[in-house]
Amino acid sequence: MDYRSFQELEKDQGRICNGSTKLLSDQFGMSALACVLHHIYGSEEDDAVRLLMLGLSCAKLGMERNNLVDWYPTFGGPWAAAPCKARDLDVKVPSEYLTNVMIRGKLPNIRLNNLSEDTLFFLFYNFPGEVYQRAAACELFNRNWRYHKIKRVWLTRTKPGEVRVQTSTYEVGTYSVFDHVQWRKMQTQMRVDYQDLEERPQLPETMQAYCSQVASHNVYQNPG
């Protein structure tokens, strides 16, 4: 079928009424394509069909074509909320640095109670879905930090006397909030509903035995 005969197709209420039987019944032919294009450009309400058939432009995804910097090494995908992290990039590493095979199983577990809060935040935000993210969350909880499920930030009371209003369901006061974008702690006055705070996270099973051993060494019995 040439372009001229395609132009001569007549439509009756969105349906093609002239043409051969094979042309009208072929769902993958020019007739079907004409119906799809008419449906896409003729209706502005069906955004889902337009997105499925035409896709998205790179500009809407934040990738300008005139940008001189290559974005493909760090592009996490069209549905990613953030670019690829440094540890996920595909780069060439010298063989001398590939020590995982030789030292696997020989390194001691990380003593979370000896780590600084900055290191704990680094583990939490840079190892999503891994054991050390939950382990860092457990240690932050032990240090009186609480994770706000709605605001998605860690916060803690600055001082016990800074809580001005406290009820059985919420409290109002000044809190130290960790901003992971600017990577610093900020003083914020806010209302905190207890139902919006994450409960005590469960320590991963792979670290429970180790942490229980560490805790037993920290218990000093009274000799008297």
DSSP string, 157-202: ES-GGGEEEE-SSEEEEEEEEEETTTTEEEEEEEEEEGGGB--PPP
Q: What is the pLDDT of residue 12?
A: 45
> What is the reported pTM?
0.54
CATH number of 112-214: 2.30.30.1020
pLDDT of residue 220 exceeding 60, the answer is no
pLDDT band at 89 (very low <50, low <70, confident <90, very high): low
CA dihedral for 22, 24, 26, 32, sign (positive or negative): positive
Q: What is the pLDDT of residue 3?
A: 40
pLDDT of residue 14 exceeding 60, the answer is no
What gap in Å lies between CA 212 and CA 214, rounded to an integer?
5
pLDDT band at 224 (very low <50, low <70, confident <90, very high): very low
Q: What is the pLDDT of residue 202?
A: 83
Q: What is the pLDDT of residue 141?
A: 93
pLDDT of residue 64 exceeding 70, the answer is no
Q: What stretch(es) of the chain map to CATH 2.30.30.1020?
A: 112-214
